[in-house]
């Protein structure tokens, strides 16, 4: 007994020593936890996917990068010119860039990649829709011939959905591209990917073409990065606290305080691109009456939610867009604020009389509606506050909780009345995405289909010749949508990330709108 116990102890210590040695040999390794709202992204195919996670931005590069102030900077394109009439753009490409599978990145590759948007079925075709054709001027120069001016082209080119994919393997692999294999020009190559669980990336040692905004242009300092998907924030926090992971790519406001209490953990923040809101289904009674919609929207007390649910971190939302966007600057009257007097007056006017039990009724029917939410704890908490705020003006909302991965399919049924949800996007075209009359159910959870809005939408999406016109058109479209109350804005968070200070050093200045290549190139594992 004693003998065998000693043997076990001995072999255990030997294997421990071996493990330590192995760890020292591959020290530039780090484990990240993907943001909760990115859990379950099913593919790394940027042309087909409607949802992409952070690791996408490390496998692929883009022609253009965006800074924290939303200005545009060179990346795979060293420079570009737009024709005076907006009908063509010329891009000068970086030399010596190759894809992970050895194919060269050049004008031909860009042409083939843009053409994939025309031949691939998917929701993202609109991003390249205005490009009529691509001309190869020389090996390092391409000219996009436009079917109409597209002031938003640089934004589209800087979005992860326009990550430059290797066109030959894309065509050869079909639906497997992005799942079993994936080839881009980015600082990391895909080693393994299991949907909803984890993605392992290994460094692309040939990489020297990092975005200008990063200090290090390549190769990356981290040799191997594992991205785990953990749906519950407090579980992810425990993993960080106990050393199981090195960095969380999103931290909810109620945990930032806990993280700051830990000596070896730190929080780093970037400006947010999220908006939390309450869509209102305009086709379902009683919300087919605009007065009831306005009342519900104005029953939402954004200040109280910011203070109580989000611990005062972030800011309130009063339009559908993040306030960093110029298109969010609608007239003051169009902004949606908490106004209980107005809400009560509107409901009285619409014939909903307050009952003794605090619930309004009309013709014997109580003002009972459904309120959908997803199962993540922060959504459920916010939804319960929204429920209480609606109750305060006499609207009884019954909460139904759906699994986060199932709720999109539920929205497609169009049965929802109210819901609490959030989106992450930093361009005004999100108004088109969520309120376009041809996307009813999901993404258009509000089932909003209004002829005047459609007119303004066309002008905003395709009618602008330059950026100023686009901003004016989008502001008008956004303002009109707000005036119809298909939703109530609630909250804009900041992006908070947390990391283990003993394990990782994070660059002091992060000039990017979100966590991506520009930040990742400068991350380092401490040894």
Contacts with another protein, residue ranges (CB under 8 A): 232-234, 237, 254-255, 257-258, 304, 307-308, 375, 377-378, 380-381, 383-385, 387-388, 398-403
Of the pair 383, 514, the CB lying nearest another protein is at 383
Residue 515: CB minimum distance to another protein, A: 23
* Cβ nearer to another protein, comparing 99 with 411: 411
| Shortest spacing between CB 356 and another protein, in angstroms | 16
Smallest distance, Å, CB 123 to another protein? 27
- For the CB of residue 388, give the shortest distance to another protein in the complex, in Å: 5
HSE-CB for 507 with a 13 A CA cutoff: 19
CB of 399 to another protein, least distance (A): 5
Residue nearer to another protein on the CB measure, 230 or 482: 230
Query: Least Å distance between CB 285 and another protein?
Result: 21
Contact present, 149 and 131 (Cβ < 8 Å): no
Edge-first strand listing for the sheet containing 353-354? 353-354, 360-362, 365-366
Q: What whole-number distance in Å separates Cα of residue 525 and Cα of residue 233?
A: 23
427, 513 contact by CB (below 8 A): no
Query: Shortest gap between Cβ of 302 and another protein (angstroms)?
Result: 13
The string of DSSP codes covering 186-200 is SSEEEEEEETTTEEE
Dihedral angle over CA of 472, 158, 110, 151, nearest 10: 10
Q: Which is nearer to another protein, 400 or 462 (CB)?
A: 400
Nearer to another protein, 137 or 406 (CB): 406
Please identify, using beta-carbon distances, which residue of 101 and 234 lies nearer to another protein. 234
Q: Distance (Å, rounded) from C-alpha 129 to C-alpha 474?
A: 18
Burial (CB count within 10 angstroms: exposed 0-12, middle 13-18, buried 19+), residue 154: buried
**CB 357, min distance to another protein, A:** 12
Instruction: Return the H-helix or E-strand segment holding 487.
Output: strand 487-492
**Other beta carbons within 10 Å of 495:** 20
The whole-angstrom separation of Cα 79 and Cα 93 is: 7
Length of the chain, in residues: 527
Q: What are phi and psi of 449, to 5 degrees?
A: -145, 95
- Smallest distance from the beta carbon of 234 to another protein, in angstroms? 5
DSSP for 203-272 reads: E-TT-----TTSS--SS-S-SEEEEE--S-HHHHHHHHHTTS-SEES---HHHHHHHHHSTTEEEEEE--
Residue whose tokens read 């394109």? 77
For another protein, the closer of residues 55 and 236 by Cβ is 236
Residue 108 vs 304, nearer CB to another protein: 304
Least distance from C-beta 310 to another protein, angstroms? 12
Nearer to another protein among residue 244 and residue 257 (C-beta): 257
User: Measured between alpha carbons, how far is 127 from 60 in angstroms, rounded to an integer?
Assistant: 17
* Helix, strand, or coil (residue 444): strand
**Reduced to 3 states, what is the DSSP secondary structure of residue 501?**
coil
Closest to another protein by CB, 3 vs 261, is 261
Q: At what angle do helices 451-462 and 467-483 cross, to 10 degrees?
A: 160
Report residue 236 CA to chain centroid gap: 19
Cβ at position 2, least distance to another protein in Å = 39
Q: Which is nearer to another protein, 29 or 258 (CB)?
A: 258
């Amino acid at each position: 007994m004693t003998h065998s116990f000693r043997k076990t102890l001995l072999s255990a210590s030997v294997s421990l020593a071996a493990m330590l040695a192995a760890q020292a040999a591959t020290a530039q390794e780090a484990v990240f936890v993907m943001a909760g709202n990115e859990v379950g992204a099913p593919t790394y195919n940027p042309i087909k996917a409607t949802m992409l996670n952070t690791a996408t931005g490390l496998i692929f590069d883009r022609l253009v990068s965006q800074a924290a102030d939303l200005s545009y900077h060179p990346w795979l394109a060293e420079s570009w010119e737009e024709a005076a009439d907006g009908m063509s753009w010329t891009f000068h490409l970086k030399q010596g860039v190759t894809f992970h599978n050895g194919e060269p990145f050049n004008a031909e590759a860009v042409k083939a990649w843009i053409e994939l948007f025309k031949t691939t079925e998917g929701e993202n075709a609109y991003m390249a829709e205005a490009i009529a054709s691509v001309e190869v001027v020389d090996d390092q120069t391409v000219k996009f011939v436009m079917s109409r001016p597209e002031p938003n082209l640089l934004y589209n080119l800087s979005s992860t959905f326009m990550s430059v994919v290797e066109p030959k393997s894309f065509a050869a692999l079909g639906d497997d591209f992005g799942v079993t294999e994936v080839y881009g020009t980015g600082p990391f190559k895909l080693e393994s990917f299991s949907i909803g669980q984890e993605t392992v990336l290994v460094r692309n040692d040939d990489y020297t073409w990092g975005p200008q905004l990063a200090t290090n242009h390549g190769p990356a300092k981290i040799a191997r990065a594992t991205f785990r998907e953990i749906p519950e924030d407090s579980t992810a926090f425990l993993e960080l606290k106990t050393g199981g992971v090195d960095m969380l790519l999103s931290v909810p406001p109620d945990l930032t305080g806990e993280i700051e209490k830990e000596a070896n953990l730190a929080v780093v923040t970037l400006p947010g691109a999220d908006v939390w809101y309450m869509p209102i289904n305009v086709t379902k009674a009683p919300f087919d009456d605009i007065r009831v919609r306005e009342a519900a929207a104005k029953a939402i007390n954004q200040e109280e939610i910011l203070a109580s649910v989000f611990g005062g971190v972030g800011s309130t939302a009063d339009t559908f867009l993040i306030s960093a966007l110029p298109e969010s600057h609608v007239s003051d009257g169009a902004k949606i604020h908490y106004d209980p007097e107005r809400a009560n007056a509107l409901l009285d006017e619409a014939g909903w009389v307050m009952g003794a039990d605090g619930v309004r009724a009309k013709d014997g029917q109580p003002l009972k509606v459904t309120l959908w939410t997803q199962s993540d704890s922060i959504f459920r908490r916010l939804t319960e506050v929204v429920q209480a705020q609606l109750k305060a003006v006499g609207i009884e909302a019954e909460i139904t909780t759906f699994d986060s991965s199932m709720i999109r399919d539920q929205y497609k049924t169009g049965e929802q009345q109210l819901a609490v949800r959030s989106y992450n996007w930093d361009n005004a075209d999100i108004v088109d995405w969520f309120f376009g009359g041809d996307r009813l159910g999901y993404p258009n959870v509000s089932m909003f289909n209004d002829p005047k809005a459609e007119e303004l939408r066309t002008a905003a999406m395709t009618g602008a010749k330059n950026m100023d016109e686009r901003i004016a058109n989008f502001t008008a479209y956004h303002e009109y949508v707000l005036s119809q109350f298909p939703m109530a804005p609630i909250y804009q968070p900041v992006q908070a990330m947390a990391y283990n200070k003993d394990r990782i050093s994070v660059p002091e200045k992060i000039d990017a709108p979100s966590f991506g290549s520009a930040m990742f190139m400068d991350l380092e594992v401490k040894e």
